[in-house]
Amino acid sequence: MKKNSTIRIALLSSSLALTACGDIFSLKQSNPGQLTADAVYQPANAQLLVNGAIADFECSFARYVVNNGLFMDELHDVIASSSNYDIDRRILFLTSPYAGGCGGVQTPGYYTAFSTARGTADEAYKRLEGWTDAEVANRTRLMAQMAAYSGYSIVFLAEGMCSAAIDLSPELTPAQLFTEAILRFDKAVTAATAANDQITLNFARLGRARAQRGAGNLAAAGTDAALIPANFLVATSADAVNPRRQNMVFVHTVLNFYSSVDSSFRNLTLNGAPDPRVQVVNSGRTGTQTAAGQVWQASKYPLVTTPMPIARYAEAQLILAEARTAAGDLNGAATAINNARNSGRTGMPQFSAAGMTTAQVLDQIIEERRRELFLEGHRLGDIRKYNLALRPAAGTPYTIGGGTYGDLRCFPLPAVERNNNPNIAKG
Amino acid sequence: MRATLSQTVAHWRRYLAVCLAAVPLVTGTVQAQATGSIAGRVIDARTEQPIAGASISIDGTRLGGFAGADGRYRIANVSAGTHSVTARSIGFAPVTQSVTVSDAAATADFALQVQAVALDEVVVSGTAGGERVREMGNSVTRINAVEAAKQSAPPNITALINARAPGLIVNFNTGRIGSASSLNIRGRSSIGQGNSPLIYVDGVRINTSTGVGPSAGGFSAQGAQIGGRLNDINPEDIESIEIIKGPAASTIYGTEASNGVIQIMTKKGGGARPTLTLQVQQGAIWFRDPEGRIPTNYYRTCDTCPLQTWNAVTAEADSGRKLFRNGHTRVVTGSIAGGTQQSRYYVSSSYQDEAGVEPNNSQKMFSLHANLGVTPNEKVDFSSSVHYVKLNGHLGTDLGASTMFGAIGGHILRFPASRGFSAGFPPEVSWELWDNMQDVNRFTASATVNHHPAEWFSHRLLAGIDYTHEDLRGLERFAPPELAVFLSPTGATGRIGQTIRTGSRYSFDYAGTAEARLTSSLQASTSLGLQTFRTDVGTSALGGTGFPGPGVELVSATSTPLTAGQSESVNTTVGGYLQEKFSWRDRLFLTGALRVDNNSAFGEDFKWVTYPKADVSWVAGEESFFEQFRDVLTTFRVRAAYGESGQSPNAFAALRTFSPVQGPGGTNAVTPGSQGNPDLRPERSKEFEVGFEAELFQRLSLDFTYYDKKTVDQIVNQAVAPSTGFPGSVPLNLARVDNSGLELLATLHAFERPNFAWSITGSLATSKDVIKELGIVPGAISTPGGANRVGYPIGGIFTKQVASADRSPTVPFATNVLCADTAGRPPIACAQAPYIFQGTPTPKRTGAITNTVTLFKRLRLYSLIDFQRGNVVWNVNELLRCQGLFGGRFCEANYFPEKYSPIYLAETSGTALNQGIIDLFYQDASYFKLRELSATYSIPERWIRGLSNASVSVVGRELHTWTDYAGIDPDFSGANDQAILPQLSRLSVILNVRF
């Protein structure tokens, strides 16, 4: 009898253990808030990957415009925060917030943000290349988009960074980065042409023009720029609530009073009348650093949902003007400048190159770009390209946060890349 | 595929049903035979007081019972014949009697002698039936919770545990009601995976999360996250606590046990007749010496203006207000315990109502606890344990949202609009508008079947669940006009953040032990165990800003909702062990064991982990050659143990994932999430400990242990170069930390007279942790504070250190400031100076001294002084006041620089924090505290007719601190002592009556 009870207990225990195997013994791990890499890299998710890459780019771009503005002369800091002082006075550490990814609002990330956007676009392109048309609808068009967005990410790294890396490469100069961008735009143009996707085609052409201009090939830049049709525009698709998709200039200057439009962009006129390209208003209040004065805001971004232009016709015309100036066609340059002025506007005063030297026309183009492309992520690239004077000059006392303005003209390669990239010498 | 919660609960329901069904299955097989019963009383031989909860067992059977509150017990169904009956209780030497049972009831009374070195106490070892202390090669500290609770009126379980086990550190947080402390055993050994021990209640692994509180909507900035689930256990329900200190002892508990294990056993019931116990506690809670501890601030509005001092506490008192009111504690506990011939029960209910020293800090807790046991025959017993807790708390505020912040950093001349309080608002803004709430429903239950089918074999099956539902809300109410003036227009409309978290922890534990006598002297026992533990946690967060008007306090009423959040995680451990123990003449014991584990957080490419263990215990004092020393050394045992254990990675650390994000135009999209590491494995701790227990002259007992622990494969996150396109960091098993220390527990029974007994217990523990390897090259330290660096302790404190400075007539009255360079070099400019190690946040030495005096067997006087030495705490209050970062320079040094050294003055510069020169604000936090002081009087029986027993106690807690720390309270374990309420003092009167 006792033996029976022992056997029963043993059987009971064993059956419990076996039954339990099905569920509580399961060691399969999943995170219902995330997707695993295996699940994502499937042909059925092609559009999801493409959306992700574009989302990463738009998020990075919106933050770059603010970084660009604070670092150079479009915006200045009005918040009492040492990391905001740092970027405003052009003194950066290799671990400063610009090194970060696409998070943050007060001190947005830049290097990791665009590196991620570039990486996700390149990865999506590679996956799409490996899949078939039968598996993925519009595969060629998606490939064109990915190559173009990757190219733009590299352009923004080339224009802003002192150096950067791609896929653990050695440290690349801006010239090398522009070359990398052009390679991607070439692929984008080919694919967009094959897919008959005009928007992506022109987006890629204008990107290539920008990269060629950066690389010093103004003739090639002009050729691409001339093909961009009037009214062409690719902009971010903003959202009211999602912080990754908000208009970051609005968020910084209007919503949070973190920064203000710099005085050099206030009250600008054209032939005596207010210049409609650089309309700014005084909010009447200050940020937490009251010594920084009242906050001025850009009228071109009236809402948190206002899209931010990435590439547009006026930019193409100003590249064309630069190319024509370089080729000695000053009147042609003036035409392009006026095309830019008239794009989307009426009654703008017209520019004439009559009696002007090449240098004067080039100065005019730089000024046209400063105003036309105000807070669109171009100013840092122009200051570097033409070695324009820093404003305020290096060494000027930085009254609101102590110290003086620095002389940086580009964002140094951050520590997170330098320390963790085996192909880059440790600093 | 992952099972849903409901599916899992359904599974467990089935298991419990099967367990319950097992009892009739077994009982049905037993034949009727002649039986009788044994009854009697268990008392303390010294005081003749009953020993409630003493266990009585009949050797070789599952039969046994527990003494009731009156010390009486009764065991039924005992087969006729002669039996060995043993009575045991923590802190007493077991006594065994031979009892002959016939048809009549046999009587066996026990008078137990106090014995600090109780080698025959049975402790929960993880194997079926437990093991005697003498058999184990490692140290296990047992706490007699009934006695400790009576002496100290602990408000929660961490207060009960504190200072009662050498090497166990309670990391006190803020003194606010509802604040929970974390526990560390033998210091800190993991850099990134936490250092808290595993805790079991009646065999069920429980939720011990700390840092719980509202977080959604930014409320973490109010210091709202101070709650913890360990405090849900009512100290009055606890019978005993066992502390298993490290891998050398915890190997068979497997992965997650490397920080030690704490076993909490609740009261079981029993006794000869039902005992009804009623306990009422009424007490006061107060902030001791607030006007002396909250600094007096200096300020003047211009260089030539008169200097004026301001102390928030006295300034408010002078205006007829009291900054910190007296709080109260009221606890009513009722329990009934008893048993019938085949069963025993313990049912208790408790209601606790506490109010802190500020109006927005209080807690009410209701708990219900039932333990039932059935012993149908000698072979089987069945027990179940059920706890339910309902807790409603208001956690108050610390940091920048608190009264403390306003008081420490204020001055009437600097902030006249807010009565001098800094941050621009007087205390009533915080008290009336800001409420951090926690509402908790907790259910913990277990069912256990013990089966002893043969002399040589016993086994046990346990299933349990611990379910927690937390509703955590941070509320800023819509401000009435008189308070709105202190807030921004947006802030005055209020906001709310709510976090709802449900967590279920399932335990399933089978253990069996078979014994064999190999020769007349040699015995072997083989133990086998199989366990699975599963934790499901789901969290939802929501919130919003802007209420339309007063009285509206729900998220749905806000004008701007916050982005909602949700997360779920599951962690499962499956493992088993095999242990072989050899016993030579019951004096020499050799044990070897192997534990094998898998965990769902391990990487896909890493599967099972194996942990070995070996230990030896030799009760040398019982050897014949020891006779010559017996007059001096009455008990002597030496032991040594080596064991390994682990700590699993974070639940999702091994997974490479993408996070869902919004794409262009609001489409679905993904962005790189976690890197993951498919090769990720647990951290592995390897520990060796050696020690002895001795009793000298039957008066002085010593328990000494030295341990040396190495924790390898520590998980560190290596940043990934962004150019890879998949940013973040990858978790790698790279680092190593070494710990070592010693623990000594000594008890001296100084006097043992019928009317006067005095015993003194002292404990001392040292701990040292050193990071030996990091595996990655950390960046240069760029800010002062905690950092992990090779050769230093975990979270070692580094700052720049001022080496020299000259006096200057201008603020901050110091010039030519130079900082220390690396050793051997002369001082250099602070901007170029390195960050220098200042100390460790982990105490190097801890311990306690308790005195217990018993007069006339009725009056017991008790005191506990505990101490921590050798750690540093960042006195942020002083730094902010002196450097002007509250908005004004408030220190005496700012106005009377001649009283201070130029080096100190250099660190009062407004930019000293940014420069990292704050070494003088990391201050030695060593202290001694008069933690507990009590007097308990057992009321004579003649005064309490109708009652079986009654006592009255007066208990004081947190009564005095001896320290050189310049801040408010050194007993604070957080990184920054900034506007943190200190541990509050308490004085309670407790009336305990038994019917």
Q: Which residues of B touch A19 (CB under 8 A)?
A: 11, 14-15
| Residue B362, pLDDT score | 97
| Residue B465, pLDDT score | 96
Tell me the nearest-neighbour CA distance from B206 into chain A, angstroms. Answer: 17
Measured CA to CA, the distance from residue B574 to residue B809 in angstroms comes to: 69
- Nearest residue to B417 (alpha-carbon basis) of B485, B317, B480, B322: B485
B659 and A24 within 8 Å at the Cβ level: the answer is: no
B25 and A101 within 8 Å at the Cβ level: the answer is: no
Phi, psi of A338 (to 5 degrees): -65, -35
- CA B548 from centre of chain: 42
| Residue A15, pLDDT score | 61
| Residue A23, pLDDT score | 62
Cα dist from B91 to B129, B131, B240, B450, B578, whole Å: 20, 16, 11, 26, 31
| Residue B221, pLDDT score | 64
Tokens of A97: 């917030």
Measured CA to CA, the distance from residue B720 to residue A416 in angstroms comes to: 7
- On whether the CB atoms of residues B164 and B185 are closer than 8 A, the answer is no
Residue partners of B832: CB distance under 8 A and separation at least 6: none
A17 and B530 within 8 Å at the Cβ level: the answer is: yes
Between positions 106 and 135 of A, the ones with CB within 8 A of B are: 111-112, 115-116, 118-120, 122-123
Tell me the nearest-neighbour CA distance from A166 into chain B, angstroms. Answer: 5
Handedness of CA B306, B311, B316, B320 (dihedral sign): negative
CA atoms within 13 A on the CB side of B134: 23
B724-749: pLDDT as tens digits:
998 888 889 999 999 999 999 999 99
DSSP secondary-structure letter at B572? E
Report the mean per-residue pLDDT for chain B: 89
Residue partners of A120: CB distance under 8 A and separation at least 6: A49, A52, A53, A56, B671, B672, B725
Assess B672–A contact: CB distance below 8 Å, yes or no. Answer: yes
Q: What confidence category does residue B4 fall into, taking pLDDT thresholds of 50, 70 and 90?
A: very low
Report the mean per-residue pLDDT for chain A: 92
Burial-class residue B333 by CB neighbours within 10 Å (0-12, 13-18, 19+).
Answer: buried
Tokens of B111: 């008078």
Measured CA to CA, the distance from residue B228 to residue B172 in angstroms comes to: 12
- On whether the CB atoms of residues B899 and B882 are closer than 8 A, the answer is no
Residue partners of A281: CB distance under 8 A and separation at least 6: A296, A297, A299
- On whether the CB atoms of residues A364 and A193 are closer than 8 A, the answer is no
Least confident of B220-229, B248-257, B674-683, B877-886: B220-229
Bridge partners (DSSP) listed for residue B327: B285
Assess A416–B contact: CB distance below 8 Å, yes or no. Answer: yes
Is residue B770 predicted with pLDDT exceeding 70? yes
Mean pLDDT of A167-194: 98
- On whether the CB atoms of residues B363 and B352 are closer than 8 A, the answer is yes
Mean pLDDT of A231-236: 96
Is residue A17 predicted with pLDDT exceeding 60? no
- Nearest residue to B614 (alpha-carbon basis) of B597, B585, B594: B594
Q: What confidence category does residue B105 fall into, taking pLDDT thresholds of 50, 70 and 90?
A: confident
Q: Is A308 left (phi over 0), alpha (psi -120 to 50) or beta?
A: beta
Least confident of A49-53, A165-169, B223-227: B223-227
Interface test with B, best of A1, A4, A12, A29 (most B CBs within 10 A): A29
Neighbouring CB atoms inside 10 A of B946's CB total: 6
Q: Is B478 left (phi over 0), alpha (psi -120 to 50) or beta?
A: beta
DSSP secondary-structure letter at B30? P
- Nearest residue to B412 (alpha-carbon basis) of B522, B298, B507, B549: B298
List, as one string, the DSSP characters of B637-676. Answer: EEEEEEEEEEEPPPTTTT--EEEEEE-GGG-EEEEE----
Measured CA to CA, the distance from residue B647 to residue B191 in angstroms comes to: 11
Mean pLDDT of A296-315: 96
| Residue A395, pLDDT score | 94
Q: Cα dihedral angle (A232, A234, A239, A242), rounded to 10 degrees? A: -170
Instruction: Give the three-state DSSP class for A219.
Output: helix
Q: What confidence category does residue A16 fall into, taking pLDDT thresholds of 50, 70 and 90?
A: low
Cis bond leading into B812, ω under 30°? yes
- On whether the CB atoms of residues B685 and B736 are closer than 8 A, the answer is no
Mean pLDDT of B163-183: 92
DSSP secondary-structure letter at B49? -
Bridge partners (DSSP) listed for residue B346: B337, B371
- CA B297 from centre of chain: 36
A32 and B726 within 8 Å at the Cβ level: the answer is: no
Between positions 163 and 182 of A, the ones with CB within 8 A of B are: 164-169
Instruction: Give the three-state DSSP class for B875.
Output: coil
Q: What confidence category does residue B32 fall into, taking pLDDT thresholds of 50, 70 and 90?
A: very low
| Residue B6, pLDDT score | 45
Q: Which residues of B touch A2 (CB under 8 A)?
A: 29, 379, 453-454
Tell me the nearest-neighbour CA distance from B665 into chain A, angstroms. Answer: 6
Assess B340–A contact: CB distance below 8 Å, yes or no. Answer: no
Is residue B170 predicted with pLDDT exceeding 80? yes
Neighbouring CB atoms inside 10 A of A323's CB total: 26
List, as one string, the DSSP characters of B327-373. Answer: EEEEEEEEEEEEE-SSEEEEEEEEEEEEE-SSTTEEEEEEEEEEEEE
| Residue B645, pLDDT score | 94
| Residue B18, pLDDT score | 37
A-chain residue closest to B569, CA distance: A31
Measured CA to CA, the distance from residue A277 to residue A371 in angstroms comes to: 6
Interface test with A, best of B723, B783, B909 (most A CBs within 10 A): B723
| Residue B438, pLDDT score | 95
Assess A21–B contact: CB distance below 8 Å, yes or no. Answer: no
B413-453: pLDDT as tens digits:
999 999 999 888 999 999 999 999 999 999 999 999 999 89
DSSP secondary-structure letter at B520? S
Tell me the nearest-neighbour CA distance from B440 into chain A, angstroms. Answer: 25
Indicate the residue type of A247. Answer: N
Measured CA to CA, the distance from residue B841 to residue B184 in angstroms comes to: 13
Is residue B24 predicted with pLDDT exceeding 80? no
Bridge partners (DSSP) listed for residue B531: B509, B575
- On whether the CB atoms of residues B269 and B208 are closer than 8 A, the answer is no
Q: What confidence category does residue A253 fall into, taking pLDDT thresholds of 50, 70 and 90?
A: very high
- Nearest residue to B930 (alpha-carbon basis) of B960, B956, B954: B960
List, as one string, the DSSP characters of A289-309. Answer: -GGG-EEEEETT--STT---E
- What ipTM, to 2 d.p.? 0.92
Assess B16–A contact: CB distance below 8 Å, yes or no. Answer: no
H/E run at residue A37: helix A37-40
Tell me the nearest-neighbour CA distance from B120 into chain A, angstroms. Answer: 29
Is residue B773 predicted with pLDDT exceeding 90? yes
Rg (alpha carbons) of chain A, rounded to whole number:
26
- Nearest residue to A73 (alpha-carbon basis) of A277, A295, A258, A262: A262
A283-297: pLDDT as tens digits:
988 888 878 999 999
Tell me the nearest-neighbour CA distance from B495 into chain A, angstroms. Answer: 17
Between positions 31 and 70 of A, the ones with CB within 8 A of B are: 31-37, 40, 47-49, 51-52, 54-56, 58
B-chain residue closest to A421, CA distance: B721
Cα dist from B363 to A241, B492, B499, B948, whole Å: 37, 27, 19, 33
Cα–Cα–Cα angle for A188, A192, A196, rounded to 5 degrees: 175
A52 and B30 within 8 Å at the Cβ level: the answer is: no
Assess B30–A contact: CB distance below 8 Å, yes or no. Answer: yes
Assess A26–B contact: CB distance below 8 Å, yes or no. Answer: yes
Q: What confidence category does residue B756 fall into, taking pLDDT thresholds of 50, 70 and 90?
A: very high
- On whether the CB atoms of residues B702 and B672 are closer than 8 A, the answer is no
Q: Which residue has the higher pLDDT, B906 or B127?
A: B906
Q: Which residues of B touch A145 (CB under 8 A)?
A: none
Mean pLDDT of B933-962: 89
Interface test with B, best of A24, A172, A245 (most B CBs within 10 A): A24
Neighbouring CB atoms inside 10 A of A285's CB total: 10
Q: Which residues of B touch A427 (CB under 8 A)?
A: none
Mean pLDDT of B129-139: 87
Bridge partners (DSSP) listed for residue B719: B729
Instruction: Give the three-state DSSP class for B5.
Output: helix
Nearest by CB to A55, which of B1, B506, B663?
Answer: B663
Residue partners of B596: CB distance under 8 A and separation at least 6: B575, B576, B577, B608, B609, B610, B611
Q: What confidence category does residue B973 fall into, taking pLDDT thresholds of 50, 70 and 90?
A: confident
| Residue B913, pLDDT score | 85
B356-398: pLDDT as tens digits:
999 999 999 999 999 999 988 878 889 999 999 999 999 998 8
| Residue B16, pLDDT score | 38
Assess B17–A contact: CB distance below 8 Å, yes or no. Answer: no
Between positions 883 and 922 of B, the ones with CB within 8 A of A are: 911, 914
- Nearest residue to B249 (alpha-carbon basis) of B593, B13, B501: B593
Tell me the nearest-neighbour CA distance from B871 into chain A, angstroms. Answer: 30
Is residue A118 predicted with pLDDT exceeding 80? yes
B-chain residue closest to A11, CA distance: B22
Is residue B603 predicted with pLDDT exceeding 80? no
Measured CA to CA, the distance from residue B393 to residue B179 in angstroms comes to: 10
Measured CA to CA, the distance from residue B232 to residue B389 in angstroms comes to: 7
Neighbouring CB atoms inside 10 A of B519's CB total: 7
| Residue B30, pLDDT score | 37
Cis bond leading into A397, ω under 30°? no
Tokens of B400: 């920048």
Measured CA to CA, the distance from residue B721 to residue B700 in angstroms comes to: 61
Is residue B605 predicted with pLDDT exceeding 80? no
Mean pLDDT of A337-358: 96
B672 and A120 within 8 Å at the Cβ level: the answer is: yes
B834-877: pLDDT as tens digits:
999 999 999 999 999 999 999 988 899 999 999 999 999 999 99
DSSP secondary-structure letter at B870? S
Phi, psi of B577 (to 5 degrees): -145, 160
Instruction: Give the three-state DSSP class for A225.
Output: helix
The reported pTM is 0.83
Indicate the residue type of A144. Answer: A
Q: Which residues of A touch B26 (CB under 8 A)?
A: 5, 8-9
Rounded to a whole number, what is the distance in angstroms from the first to the last CA of chain B? 55
Bridge partners (DSSP) listed for residue B343: B374
Assess A427–B contact: CB distance below 8 Å, yes or no. Answer: no
Q: Which residue has the higher pLDDT, B604 or B962?
A: B962
